[in-house]
Structure 1
């Protein structure tokens, strides 16, 4: 079916959300099973614990015995309290990364403490809309010292919706930023679950189904099952294997039964177009290495342009690192979700 659908449901007691675009699963979120550590986006009062000499970082104490790691911790001393926010999921045996640049993010607004000024997403092009949003923002923020970024979704929100959203984030920021002192580590704001993230970060769909059984009604279970296999079909252009190892995610591109001179380029271009969706729906991040099908060096530029275009529309921060001496292509992707294991 054409159009967009967001289905909110649960799988084995874990909240899950599916974004379906034109009948295909475009994104999938699910809460982790068991205790996976601090949730990305959570805000803590942390206690500086142990500096990493030579690296300029600091290990921090978080509640319940958890640890966090802060880069660029110059000027901090053990025992000092500090407001921090987790930036991603931790790998097994490693402390999650945190930042002291705390953000208060909602569907329409992001409040930026200690970064004054009001800004609007550059994707909002309509000048009348930008003026309207600025008027709302200035009225709600008043003389608050914190800054504000209005997200692209604010352009389609009503005046009241946008104003209420800004006010909620403003009030939360004022409350939390005044609670940074204390001798004990404490969770101040919990990170969002799968349903919260879907509401906050996905565009408003044509159909929102949040009733029990929504996954069954929209065939989500079968769509998810397709991503449980390492094999990813590339239509008539071949297939790829996407497999996670301890160190990295390996992607092996194959042309299938096509032995024509252009087969390698066609398979690689098909992979480039679909790779962001494959990684989102599988929950994969970190270092990613592409072992591409054979193609001439003259075709690399075409492949790179296609890959850049595909990731430009992807919401997860991804760095295209480039080619290796062996002809592989490498990417570095933020770990803002865990690998999907059902």
Structure 2
């Protein structure tokens, strides 16, 4: 598998591919709150019945359970009352561990962590933990490698079992330095998207356009190729079409049949339709054939769109043997998914039920807002256009709603003039031509 990582002044996008096939994609603002973000927030109120505190950054409310406070870490295995661990008005440095969706708040912890190739470093963790794949002999050997301060903690990853004590100590020193920098700055991103993808998947090589990302991945001993030329990477441009299709409700299959995907707040409903498919005269056999093709498409789309939670699939009415094959194949495909998939099978009404582990917001949630393209979707499109066109011009006129004018556009080696309107690159050319265009409009 190969990772394509593209970064613009405000957005980063990671695309995992196998050959020419897109497997997974994620996009986010560089400074947005997401899993791993470390920030300072003030305790706004305490909720004793929930055993938690609610924190605020001034714009966002965060949820801090009692077990995730520093007081709980210090008293482990005892858990203090929330009133003993949090005081209204105090500021705490916390890290996002779960993104809030559907009105829920982001879940955070004071036990912040910094991940490396071999270990995860916790400045306030107080314990040494081990991957379940490490045997007891290896755990005992690793337990004697580090001389940690009382407050520090470490999680040994599976790869640590093959690392030398020197490599482990070098990584610990590196993570300590990174932790000191972030704690001093009172916040920052723990990991770039490319680092998260490399840790989650068996990535063989990475193509990217960012120097910081190159430096970080080099430390993870990944084969990295950096794009130096102007404009966008051709590898990323080739994937634009496939990514744009992920915003469509209909996924077409061979032969004219299709899958209809509807995401609502409580679940995802998927309908399989025969469409214009008349390849087989026997309706039962035709339904089984279409259902099996739809099965692969559904599992692929769940991963690509990062759909989690309850999923209901309305397959075509096929044979009993066909349903048994669908159930068996779904379990096989679910076991290959990087996220946990629970397969429940057919209900008495003939609907197929499964659930998929929810990790952050789906692509639909990220790219739409009240039925319209979100700010992330708009900026992603505009910044990619500027990257492509910047070598051809020295100035651009970009139309945006006035509330979005606070963006930073100084990373394209060109001048960007902002005017009110629907998001678009309205004009580009010399700086003088752009200024004249603005004066006329």
- TM-score, normalized by length of structure 1? 0.71
Residue in structure 1 matched with residue 63 of structure 2 by the alignment: 69
**Aligned partner of residue 331 in structure 2, secondary structure:** helix
Residue in structure 1 matched with residue 353 of structure 2 by the alignment: 329
CA distance in 2: counterparts of 1:59 and 1:301, whole angstroms? 48
Residue in structure 2 matched with residue 17 of structure 1 by the alignment: 14
CA distance in 2: counterparts of 1:264 and 1:170, whole angstroms? 58
Residue in structure 1 matched with residue 204 of structure 2 by the alignment: 205
Spell out the pairing of 1:142-291 with structure 2 (5 A cutoff). 142-143=147-148, 146-151=153-158, 164-169=170-175, 188-206=187-205, 208-210=207-209, 211=227, 213-215=232-234, 219-235=238-254, 238-256=257-275, 257=277, 260-291=283-314
Is the 1:42–1:191 contact (alpha carbons within 8 Å) kept by the matching residues of 2? yes
**Aligned partner of residue 303 in structure 1, secondary structure:** helix
Higher relative CO (Cα under 8 Å, sequence separation at least 6) belongs to 1
Number of positions where the alignment pairs a residue of Structure 1 with one of Structure 2? 322
Larger radius of gyration: 2
Residue in structure 1 matched with residue 5 of structure 2 by the alignment: 8
Residue in structure 2 matched with residue 90 of structure 1 by the alignment: 100
Please identify which structure carries the higher helix content: 2
Is the 2:46–2:53 contact (alpha carbons within 8 Å) kept by the matching residues of 1? yes
Q: Give CA deviations for 1:224-272 in whole Å, capped at 9, x if unaligned.
A: 1232322224446943122322333222223442554244444444444
Is the 1:117–1:147 contact (alpha carbons within 8 Å) kept by the matching residues of 2? yes
CA distance in 1: counterparts of 2:175 and 2:81, whole angstroms? 29
Residue in structure 2 matched with residue 41 of structure 1 by the alignment: 36
**Aligned partner of residue 213 in structure 1, secondary structure:** coil
Q: Structure 1 stretches of 5 or more lacking a match?
A: 180-185
CA distance in 1: counterparts of 2:290 and 2:65, whole angstroms? 40
CA distance in 2: counterparts of 1:205 and 1:86, whole angstroms? 29
Deviation at 1:15, TM superposition (A): 1.5
Deviation at 1:27, TM superposition (A): 1.2
Q: Which residue of the other structure, out of 20, 25, 33, is the alignment partner of 1:28?
A: 25
CA distance in 1: counterparts of 2:176 and 2:348, whole angstroms? 50
CA distance in 1: counterparts of 2:186 and 2:318, whole angstroms? 51
Residue in structure 2 matched with residue 119 of structure 1 by the alignment: 130
- TM-score, normalized by length of structure 2? 0.58
CA distance in 2: counterparts of 1:227 and 1:190, whole angstroms? 27
Distance 1:22 1:76, change over 3 A: same
Higher deviation after alignment, 318-327 or 248-257: 318-327
**Aligned partner of residue 58 in structure 2, secondary structure:** helix
Q: Structure 2 stretches of 5 or more lacking a match?
A: 68-79, 210-226, 368-376, 378-441
CA distance in 2: counterparts of 1:239 and 1:158, whole angstroms? 53
Is the 1:42–1:187 contact (alpha carbons within 8 Å) kept by the matching residues of 2? no
CA distance in 2: counterparts of 1:25 and 1:269, whole angstroms? 20
Is the 1:39–1:192 contact (alpha carbons within 8 Å) kept by the matching residues of 2? no
**Aligned partner of residue 31 in structure 1, secondary structure:** strand
Q: Give CA deviations for 1:49-105 in whole Å, capped at 9, x if unaligned.
A: 445576x25352132332112457682125276664323332354322335664433
**Aligned partner of residue 98 in structure 2, secondary structure:** coil
RMSD: 4.3
